[in-house]
Amino acid sequence: MKKSPSKDGSRSPATGWFGVKTLFLTKVVGRPKNLDSLYVSQTALLEERVVIFKAISAPEAIRRAEQEAREYAQDVAINPYGQTVKIDFLECCDAFEIDEKPTDRQEVYSSMEIVSSRRSVDSIIDAKFGREEKKGERKKFMDRDL
């Protein structure tokens, strides 16, 4: 990373922008009460978050993202079924250096992987985005006070 002059004239590492992806798994704990047709048992909610950080390096951006992710995962709620909703940080991060200061329509994260050319587009999309949800299926992961 480039160095930029500081106020005293010395050269210090320049900061850059990084998009850091983190993964979370939200689960419910406890016996559900007052079940309705929207309740689906044996499901968890996988969340990918991309948060931008100003840092001097990718390792620093990742350290900051891990700290932010642990804080984010501390949220605990009670869902409409009386269950505790807990978020687990899956302890994995991937950083992408953004070439310029973020602006409208600018890429803040990119990830690529090799896949079989024989794999169907639908199976790739399902693997990356999950299956299509039924209306209201996320209700059990929501704070009942919202």
Burial 130-139, CB ≥16 within 10 A → b, else e: eeeeeeeeee
Q: Helix (H, G, I), strand (E, B), or coil: what is residue 128?
A: helix
The contacts of residue 35 (CB under 8 Å, 6+ apart) are 81
Tell me the two tokens of residue 111.
């990830």
Kindly report the three-state secondary structure assignment for every residue of 33-65.
CCCCCCCCCCCCEEEEEEEEEEECCHHHHHHHH
- CA–CA gap between residue 56 and residue 17 (Å, rounded): 8
Residue 28: CB atoms within 10 A of its CB come to 22
Q: Please report which confidence band the pLDDT of residue 32 belongs to, taking 50, 70 and 90 as the band edges.
A: very high
pLDDT of 1 strictly over 50: no
Which of 57-71, 105-119, 124-138 has the highest mean predicted lDDT (pLDDT)? 57-71
In angstroms, what CA-CA distances link 8 with 5, 11, 15, 72? 8, 9, 17, 37
**For range 66-89, the mean pLDDT:** 95
